[in-house]
């Protein structure tokens, strides 16, 4: 019985941290310069607090707002929070081409809105088409699969090879990698044209 109480305690704690991180996501969007926030590197929670407090990246935050922002940043930077795989409902269709995404697990990408709604795509290219045409919306999470490991990675930290001779379900595709060295190897082996970061991908790279 004691073990059960301990498990329940940690489950409640995890749920509390998740809610705090969601609040922090909203604070980052409303009260901070998100692009500058993403460029900062942190070693631990104290480092996060010091750098946020000493910079002008965010408006003046209360202690509770700062704690929520720290929880959000910590969640984004902790690789253990990444799912083992992108689980796609069988009836989920790509938001751009209408194909059933579950048929192409290797190429699956996902966007999660701040509302919690999840959108699935059969490749990076279609996902980026949706992203660029909905820039006014708030997206909490964007996942793509690393081409070599097939494990989900944060799309905003990934490296993408364009123009290679490897094709996806919809033809020419942007190939994602967690490590830049892997992207460079793939570029050389598969006649890629260039390596792009998430923010460097423009609409002209999608057609």
Mean pLDDT of 131-146: 90
27, part of any domain: yes
* Residues pairing with 112 in the sheet: 118, 141
pLDDT above 50 for 3: no
Residue 107 structural domain: 101-206
Instruction: Give the pLDDT band (50/70/90) at residue 44.
Output: low
Examine the domain organization and report whether 202 and 105 are in the same domain.
Answer: yes
* Rounded (to 5) percent helix, strand, coil in the chain: 45, 20, 35
End-to-end alpha carbon distance in the chain: 59
Examine the domain organization and report whether 109 and 196 are in the same domain.
Answer: yes
Examine the domain organization and report whether 110 and 195 are in the same domain.
Answer: yes
Examine the domain organization and report whether 72 and 131 are in the same domain.
Answer: no
Q: Looking at 81, 109, 143, which one is the last position of a domain?
A: 81
Examine the domain organization and report whether 105 and 202 are in the same domain.
Answer: yes
**Number of domains present in the structure of the chain:** 2
35, part of any domain: yes
Higher pLDDT, 166 or 6: 166
pLDDT above 60 for 41: yes
- C-alpha span between 46 and 72 (Å, rounded): 14
86, part of any domain: no
- C-alpha span between 144 and 108 (Å, rounded): 7
pTM over 0.85: no
Examine the domain organization and report whether 43 and 110 are in the same domain.
Answer: no
Which alpha helices (DSSP H) does the chain contain, by range? 2-31, 34-39, 45-54, 63-77, 124-133, 180-189
Examine the domain organization and report whether 171 and 201 are in the same domain.
Answer: yes
Examine the domain organization and report whether 113 and 69 are in the same domain.
Answer: no
Which residue in the block uniquely carries the two structure tokens 């073990």? 3
- C-alpha span between 66 and 86 (Å, rounded): 30
Examine the domain organization and report whether 47 and 7 are in the same domain.
Answer: yes
């Amino acid at each position: 019985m004691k073990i059960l109480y301990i498990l329940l305690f940690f489950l409640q704690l995890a749920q509390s941290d998740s809610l705090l991180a969601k609040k922090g996501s909203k604070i980052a969007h409303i009260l901070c310069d998100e692009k500058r926030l993403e460029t900062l590197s942190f070693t631990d929670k104290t480092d996060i607090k010091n750098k946020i407090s000493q910079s002008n990246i965010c408006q003046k935050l209360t202690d509770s707002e700062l704690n929520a922002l720290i929880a959000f940043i910590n969640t984004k930077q902790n690789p253990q929070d990444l799912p083992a795989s992108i689980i796609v409902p069988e009836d989920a269709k790509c938001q751009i081409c209408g194909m059933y995404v579950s048929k192409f697990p290797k190429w699956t990408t996902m966007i999660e809105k701040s509302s919690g709604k999840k959108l699935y795509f059969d490749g990076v290219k279609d996902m980026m088409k949706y992203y660029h045409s909905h820039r006014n919306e708030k997206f909490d999470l964007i996942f793509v699969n690393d081409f070599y490991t097939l494990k989900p990675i944060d799309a905003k930290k990934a490296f993408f090879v364009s123009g290679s001779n490897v094709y996806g379900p919809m033809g020419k595709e942007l190939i994602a990698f967690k490590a830049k060295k892997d992207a460079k190897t793939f570029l050389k082996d598969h006649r890629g044209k260039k390596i792009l970061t998430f923010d460097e991908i423009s609409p002209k790279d999608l057609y």
